[in-house]
Structure 1
Amino acid sequence: MTRVKMSWQSTHRSSKFRHVYGKAGGREQCYEGIPVTHSVHDNHFCAVNPKFLAVVTESAGGGAFLIIPLHKPGRIGPHYPKVCGHHGNVMDIKWSPFMDNIIASSSEDCTVRIWQIPDGGLRRNMTEALMILIGHSRRVGLIEWHPTCSRILLSAGNDCKIMIWNLEEGVAVKMIDSHPDVVLCMSFNTDGSLLATSCKDKKLRIIDPRSGKVLQEADCKNIKVNRVVFLGNLKCVLTTGVSRWSTRQVALWNQEDLSSPITEEEIDGLSGVLFPFYDADTHMIYLAGKGDGNIRYYEVSSEKPYLQFLMEFRSPTPQKGLSVMPKRGVDVGECEIFRFYKLVTLKSLVEPVSMIVPRRSESYQEDIFPMTAGTESALSASEWLSGVNRGPMLISLKEAYKRPNAADLRAAKQDRRTVNGIDLLENVSPNTDKELLKMVFRQQEELRQHKDELREKDDKIQQLELQLRNMKNT
């Protein structure tokens, strides 16, 4: 009898990020009472960095946005100070990747404004901008900072033009007039030498931003391309959009040949825009749907399968927009590789959502936290405009990692001596058996874990009920 050698191969490529899971922050970590803007523009309306959270809000007499110190979650009062210098609704806000106190905003009043926020946040309404950039003839819907040059900013307006601003001089140095319709999205590559755009004319373009020349162009006749993002050093761009069958779709393209996509994948039949977020450090792409609470994430590679689905974070609360914490602001000790701040209109709050690699170790996890972009600018505006290209200045996150030691554990124990307002060590003599205290602390920890499990089960029940209602409706 001939023996047949059987082999088995997993359908999933081996990956250290295979079991990454999403964890929503508790109520004590949320920012509540925020009157989120009612604008239906397909933008995120929020931005975050390690110091501040900015949220576009409703305001009488013009556009405004809130600036909240990140370490002060909780309820925001109705008279909380705002940045309110625009004369029309604010369309987009972006923090400078190099200076945590500098934020840019664009508005329906056809201007772009640069603001400098005090270290402690605002104590009164701010109306005077550091700089006002005037050049567009219609409302300005998009702004984008250059990834390696701190003084270059791009803006795209409904006049179908992209303006390149030199903030060292406060003037527009280039106008890109290559689009016959409104620009929907724009994305720089790693060193800022190329710009990818999507447009209402259903075309995807790769542009040299300094000359304005279109290097590559794809006519996506059967797809409405909404969003585009460069994928780091993979020499690819990823787009999300809607197919002719009204299904949400994601596609991967070779940036040097846009004749046809490398791969395409249909996601679902929902109608909200799919926002893509790329993590160049882990080569992971996150797809978050506007109007639903789901965040799907994939690992991207230059070989088949190009998009490897990993997992999906589900939430019953729909998101209006999301912002992403720069990698230098994540919690390295908790193996947090990505953190969203989710804008929830129904509850008037912003909720953090952490993406965590499940590991147990007391050492720094160098394989999931490689060198990443820091706050130092790689070149000046004049250098970039003259044709110089440089990649981002990289830093290590190892300094942010603090290994637990005996002193930290003692301090933590001192902080945990009160439970529900009761001082456990009050009237306890030094000779009292400390095992009783250890038992109380252990029981409190178990109670907290049980509460977290119950909260997760409640969320799961709400998800299942929502799915059941959807099945009945269809």
Structure 2
Amino acid sequence: VRIWEIPEGGLKRNMTEAVLELYGHSRRVGLVEWHPTTNNILLSAGYDYKVLIWNLEVGEPVKMIDCHTDVILCMSFNSDGSLLATTCKDKKLRVLEPRSGRVLQEANCKNHRVNRVVFLGSTKRLLTTGVSRWNTRQIALWDQEDLSMPLIEEEIDGLSGLLFPFYDADTHMLYLAGKGDGNIRYYEIGSEKPYLTYLMEFRSPAPQKGLGVMPKHGLDVSACEVFRFYKLVTLKGLIEPISMIVPRRSETYQEDIYPMTPGTEPALTPDEWLSGVNRDPILMSLKEGYKRTSKVVFKAPVKKKSVVVNGIDLLENVPPRTENEV
């Protein structure tokens, strides 16, 4: 895993040296996920079926989650980072306590083969995307405290590409973007049945390979922009920004669509979180605009030939190669 820092003002030349390099997985790394409220805590998942929790202040893995029996497909933290949801190639959805690695809830998804998962803010619900037994794209809503049955299941279409879910907790909007097509569907998430209300769909003739999103503090509030995608266009080799804008005539600040939102200041230090402390994110107002925080400085660790976590050398205990690696 390599950590890069984009210089202020953007890239003016190619970057060749990472700020920090992390060695711990015995197979290639497929996923990384930042902790939502704690500074310098990063999770990585590799094809060795392990999730490593890194403390970037020391540049070493401090915890290891080894409950998965196959490749991990997706990871998602809840709003305060006290829970971690994962989907796995073994067709299971898990809710974990990340510091101990203990599995709190587990679902065997036979009728809904899960691919992606996202926590829906502080609603104590999860949304997964996947494929039904009839090979149609499907979404499912779950109660995080009871994964025995989904609250609802809804079929989307018969296309074969993955569905990427994106949730905006400030507006309670869910966006579904399909890999290989150019569509982005919008839903409103409610607290009561039917829980999920379809609104409309953005269509584009250019298929998307993947999407990233702009953090809230980077949105154009003067244009009433509530969400911005960065779409990787496969055919053209381009990145296309797509803005979701609420049409308003007034030029004043729209407080109803811009509530207090999680900011960039960490609520916890790594040691506090690792000791068991949980804390909600520190909120900020978008009315005053974004102010850059102090520069993050990492202590680059000495490279080691062995990485030991929980008494296990991760570079020696190597699982068999997966089909994708072969």
Q: Same fold, TM exceeding 0.5?
A: yes
Bigger relative contact order, structure 1 or 2 (CA pairs below 8 A, ≥6 apart): 2
Measure how far apart 1:350 and its partner are: 1.0
1:217-239 residue CA offsets vs partner (Å, 9 max, x unmatched): 00001222000000011100000
Residue 278 of structure 1 is matched in structure 2 by 167
Instruction: For 1:332, give the aligned amino acid.
Output: V
What is residue 389 of structure 1 aligned with on the other side? Answer: 278
Partner SS, residue 217 of structure 2: helix
Cα distance, 1:398 vs structure 2: 1.1
Give the superposed CA RMSD.
Answer: 1.1
Residue in structure 1 matched with residue 134 of structure 2 by the alignment: 245
For residues 7 and 251 of structure 2, the distance between their equivalents in structure 1, rounded to whole angstroms, comes to: 37
For residue 181 of structure 1, give the secondary structure of its aligned residue in structure 2. coil
Match of 1:198 in 2: 87
Picking from 166, 187, 197, the partner of 1:308 is 197
Unmatched segments (≥5 aa) in structure 1: 1-111, 402-474
Cα distance change on mapping 1:365 and 1:124 into 2, 3 Å: closer
Q: Deviation digits for residues 18-53 of structure 1, max 9, x if unmatched?
A: xxxxxxxxxxxxxxxxxxxxxxxxxxxxxxxxxxxx
Paired residues, what number?
290
2: CA distance between counterparts of 1:115 and 1:325?
A: 17
More helix by share: 1
| Higher strand fraction (1 or 2) | 2
Higher-Rg member (1/2): 1
| Whole-angstrom CA distance in 2 between matches of 1:120 and 1:223 | 44
3-state secondary structure, aligned to 2:22: strand
Judge which range, 270-279 or 297-306, deviates more: 297-306
Q: 1:127-138 counterparts in 2 under 5 A? A: 127-138=16-27
- CA–CA separation in structure 1 for the residues paired with 2:251 and 2:4: 41
In structure 1, how many angstroms separate the alpha carbons of the residues matched to 2:203 and 2:5? 36
1:342 match: 231
TM-aligned CA deviation for residue 124 of structure 1:
4.2
* Amino acid of the structure 1 residue aligned with 2:195: Y
C-alpha distance in structure 1 between counterparts of 2:259 and 2:170, whole Å? 6
Q: Match for residue 327 of structure 1?
A: 216
Give runs of ≥4 in structure 1 deviating > 6 Å: none
Residue 331 to residue 122, structure 1, CA distance change in 2 (3 Å)? closer
Q: Sequence identity of aligned pairs in percent?
A: 77
* Aligned residue identity for 1:174: K
Equivalent position SS for 1:233: coil
1:186 equivalent in structure 2: 75
Shift, 1:352, TM fit? 0.9
Give 1:294's aligned residue.
Answer: 183
Secondary structure class of the residue paired with 1:320 = strand
Query: Which position in structure 2 is the counterpart of 1:55?
Result: none
- Supply the distance in 2 between the matched residues of 1:122 and 1:309 (Cα, whole angstroms): 39
Q: Measure the CA separation in 1 of the matches of 2:10 and 2:197.
A: 41
Q: Given the alignment of the two structures, is residue 210 of structure 1 paired with residue 210 of structure 2, yes or no?
A: no
Cα displacement (A) at 1:121: 3.6
What is the letter of the counterpart of residue 252 of structure 1?
Answer: L
Structure 2 equivalent of residue 433 of structure 1: none
Q: Which of 148, 164, 173 does residue 62 from structure 2 map onto?
A: 173
Distance 1:364 1:117 in 2: 30
